[in-house]
């Protein structure tokens, strides 16, 4: 579990915090505010509810430690079905399936933290909304989501699953297009090295 960053983006990393094998955070210097990326891997439906509660508690604590001005994006496998149907400013019209108990918990978390589920807001056919299919292709589900703070929603230009992407996983990739600006990094002054062996001494 982790992040793959391009060379220029990697230069902007100011903080990395691995909370557990299921939760990791990095902070990037952007303009006009910092971008906080949090990756989540929730326990499967076979796991005890206490395990899910523990991840949510750690996630809440992590969010509380961020600056109020930071732009926070939370992405990953939530093992939850939000389902179809718009709900306030949290869930858009382009979910998939019928909401389950874990999905209800995720929606309540988003409401409390003022987050939107970005990949339910952009239209795509149902056959392209799923992010995971059961072995044997006996069922297709949307359980991976990218959450964005509502106050930065105007910066989100698109979000969707990519069923055709080859990522060596039984999950489909979920992509987010968001308008961000890299913070300019000042170039360090180049230090001049003198070759003492080739110095010419000027004499009178």
Tokens for 187, please give them. Answer: 């170039």
Q: Within a domain: residue 58?
A: yes
Give the CA-trace dihedral at 127, 95, 64, 185, to 10 degrees: 50
pLDDT at 204 over 50: no
Q: Within a domain: residue 163?
A: yes
Average pLDDT over residues 190-201: 50
Q: Within a domain: residue 183?
A: yes
Q: How confident is the model over 41-89, as pLDDT tens digits?
A: 999 888 899 999 999 999 999 999 999 899 999 999 999 999 999 999 9
Instruction: Tell me the residue range of the domain where 82 lies.
Output: 7-198
Q: What is the domain count for the chain?
A: 1
Output 192 or 148, whichever has higher pLDDT.
148
Contact 179, 155 (CB under 8 A): yes
Distances (CA, A) of 65 to 25, 60, 70, 125: 12, 9, 11, 38
Output 166 or 180, whichever has higher pLDDT.
180
Q: What is the pLDDT of residue 202?
A: 43
Find the farthest-apart pair of alpha carbons in the chain and give their distance in angstroms, rounded: 93
The CATH number for 158's domain is 3.60.10.10
Q: Within a domain: residue 1?
A: no
Q: How confident is the model over 118-137, as pLDDT tens digits?
A: 999 999 998 889 999 888 88
Output 170 or 103, whichever has higher pLDDT.
103
């Amino acid at each position: 579990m982790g992040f793959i960053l391009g060379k220029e983006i990697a230069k902007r990393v100011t903080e990395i915090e691995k909370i557990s094998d299921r939760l990791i955070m990095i902070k990037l210097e952007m303009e006009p505010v910092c971008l906080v990326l949090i990756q989540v891997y929730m326990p499967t439906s076979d796991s005890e509810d206490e395990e899910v509660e523990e991840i949510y508690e750690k996630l809440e604590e992590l969010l509380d430690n961020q600056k109020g001005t930071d732009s926070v994006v939370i992405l990953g496998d939530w093992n939850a079905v939000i389902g179809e149907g718009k709900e306030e400013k949290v869930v858009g019209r382009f979910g998939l399936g019928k909401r389950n108990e874990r999905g209800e918990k995720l929606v309540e978390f988003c409401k409390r933290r003022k987050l939107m589920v970005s990949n339910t807001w952009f239209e795509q056919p149902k056959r392209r909304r799923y992010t995971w299919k059961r072995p044997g292709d006996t069922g297709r589900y949307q359980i991976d989501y990218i959450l964005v703070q509502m106050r930065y929603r105007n910066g989100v230009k698109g979000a969707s699953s990519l069923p055709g992407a080859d990522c060596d996983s039984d999950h489909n990739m979920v992509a987010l297009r968001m308008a961000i600006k890299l913070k300019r990094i000042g170039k360090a002054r180049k230090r001049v090295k003198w070759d003492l062996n080739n110095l010419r001494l000027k004499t009178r």
